[in-house]
Amino acid sequence: MTVKKPKIVVLGAGYGGLVTVTRLQKALSVDEANIVLVNKNDYHYETTWLHEASAGTLHHDRVRYDVDSVINRSKVEFIRAEVQDIKPDEKKVILNTGEVEYDYLVVALGGEAETFGIEGLKEHAFTISNVNTARQLRDHIDYQFATYALEEDKKDERLTIVVGGAGFTGIEFLGELANRVPELCKEYDIDYSKVRIYCVEAAPMVLPGFDPELVKYAVALLEKKGVEFKIGTPIKGATPEGIIVAKGETETEEIKAGTVVWAAGVRGSSIIEKSGIENMRARVKVNPDLRAPNQEDIFVIGDCSLMINEEINRPYPPTAQISMQQGETVARNIVKLLKGEGDLETFTPDIKGTVCSLGDDDAIGVVFDKKLTGTKASFMKKMIDNRALFMIGGPSLVLKKGKFNVL
């Protein structure tokens, strides 16, 4: 009698999904399990580099690599498809190309932009979400500069760029933009003084949670490069002409802009909401072993998961760092379940630090409790980027895709 092999299905080839699969393919033989990876594209993209591709400071091909280059196809079946739904009661996943059944499921589908119901944002603002949005935003900004000299219509707004959100993504994008805009001005014979770059943020501060001294450094640097901050200014809506912001208690003001980028919110995957798995804003408050509540065979990791930092009683921010660590734990927990090796491991994030880039040549950060700015921080950022490549694809991937333009 042949025993049916357990089937492990991993959804998403991002940071969390690929770490899970690369660890599982190492830990299990072909006789022990069927491992299936499902992803929309046949490539993985470095989400943490998308602000560079979006501003045009890094080509979009630099931020992605083939899934095939890091998985062992003799052990892992790769299905290129879009996940449309998860049916926990039937233990199956609905794809745009069919269905796939599972014994164990790992949901690692990443996050989606959260627009908090602000009118017009979905229709009129760009987001920094994947390779396609990055390419579209870069081309749009280029188009605005290229068209400036040719058309009189809406001339001044063409060169106004609004970035909604002074969190991590917004500030990293502004850092790239502030370096890219002078290049665009030179390329299209435009006087730099014609360009306006606004950062509009509802909260009363930039980079909440970051060390105030480092935030001061970042703001001063970006202001010096021409970024104008409008802090404590909620965006009320977006239109084809620009954005509407609050002015005082009751009034509003229009900022006309040729480019509006929304970088102020992330939620989990809409697939989670659709599936009926218990969630808050599409994120699952996972058990300590990373399983979804009341689901023995579903693990949720990365931006789809929600974990509370008990020290401050607030959720951990969604990061690649945590996603990858969760991938390692989930792989070990699945192996334990398959081999009947007792209690599952409890996941505790090990936060080594955070570095926020301010363009290719500058950054701010805290690493191992040490504050860094300038070239030291920028060097550290590149090392962190290279480490993510190393964790998934080893030294060969670092050599192929790594950042070595160290200052």
Ligand X SMILES: Cc1cc2nc3c(=O)[nH]c(=O)nc-3n(C[C@H](O)[C@H](O)[C@H](O)COP(=O)(O)OP(=O)(O)OC[C@H]3O[C@@H](n4cnc5c(N)ncnc54)[C@H](O)[C@@H]3O)c2cc1C
**Residue 136 found at the interface with ligand X (CB under 6 A):** no
Minimum distance, C-beta of residue 324 to ligand X, in the bound complex (Å): 8
Minimum distance, C-beta of residue 327 to ligand X, in the bound complex (Å): 7
**Residue 128 found at the interface with ligand X (CB under 6 A):** yes
Q: How far is CA 380 from the centre of its chain?
A: 19
| 250 vs 405, beta carbon nearer ligand X | 405
Q: Which of 61, 68, 82, 85 binds ligand X (CB under 6 A)?
A: 82
Phi and psi torsions of 253, nearest 5°? -140, 145
**Residue 360 found at the interface with ligand X (CB under 6 A):** no
Q: Which of 8, 9, 12, 282 binds ligand X (CB under 6 A)?
A: 12
**Residue 391 found at the interface with ligand X (CB under 6 A):** no
Minimum distance, C-beta of residue 117 to ligand X, in the bound complex (Å): 21
- Spatial contact of 35 and 76, defined as CB atoms under 8 Å apart: yes
**Residue 15 found at the interface with ligand X (CB under 6 A):** yes
**Is residue 90 among the annotated active site residues?**
no
Q: According to CB under 6 A, which residues from 250 to 279 bind ligand X?
A: 269, 271
Burial 119-135 (b: 16+ CB within 10 A, else e): ebbeebbbbbbbbebbe
| 25 vs 323, beta carbon nearer ligand X | 323
Minimum distance, C-beta of residue 60 to ligand X, in the bound complex (Å): 13
**Residue 320 found at the interface with ligand X (CB under 6 A):** yes
d(CA 123, CA 262): 11
- Spatial contact of 369 and 398, defined as CB atoms under 8 Å apart: no
Minimum distance, C-beta of residue 271 to ligand X, in the bound complex (Å): 5
3-state secondary structure of 322: helix
**Residue 175 found at the interface with ligand X (CB under 6 A):** no
Closest by Cα among 223, 75, 28, 52 to 131 = 52
d(CA 38, CA 299): 15
For residue 156 the two structure tokens come to: 């001044």
Q: Determine which helix (DSSP H) or strand (DSSP E) holds 170, and give its type and residue range.
A: helix 168-187
Q: Which of 20, 39, 160, 325 binds ligand X (CB under 6 A)?
A: 39
Q: Which of 164, 258, 302, 393 binds ligand X (CB under 6 A)?
A: 302
Helices marked H in 196-319:
212-224, 270-275
DSSP state of 27: H
Residues 6+ apart with CB under 8 A from 236: 118, 119, 243, 244, 245, 246, 252
**Residue 321 found at the interface with ligand X (CB under 6 A):** yes
**Residue 174 found at the interface with ligand X (CB under 6 A):** no
Q: Which of 8, 9, 14, 24 binds ligand X (CB under 6 A)?
A: 14
**Residue 323 found at the interface with ligand X (CB under 6 A):** yes
DSSP state of 3: P
Minimum distance, C-beta of residue 147 to ligand X, in the bound complex (Å): 26
- Spatial contact of 231 and 264, defined as CB atoms under 8 Å apart: no
For residue 343 the two structure tokens come to: 């209690």
| 332 vs 381, beta carbon nearer ligand X | 381
Cβ count within 10 A of residue 180: 20
Q: According to CB under 6 A, which residues from 41 to 70 bind ligand X?
A: 41, 44, 47-48, 50-51
| 163 vs 190, beta carbon nearer ligand X | 163
- Spatial contact of 317 and 310, defined as CB atoms under 8 Å apart: no
> Which residue among the candidates 46, 172, 176, 328 is catalytic per the annotation?
172
d(CA 53, CA 360): 12
| 85 vs 156, beta carbon nearer ligand X | 85
**Residue 325 found at the interface with ligand X (CB under 6 A):** no
Minimum distance, C-beta of residue 102 to ligand X, in the bound complex (Å): 15
Bridge partners, 308 (sequence order): 315
Catalytic residues: 172
Binding interface with ligand X (CB under 6 A): 12-17, 38-41, 44, 47-48, 50-51, 82-83, 108-110, 128, 168-169, 172, 269, 271, 302-303, 318-321, 323
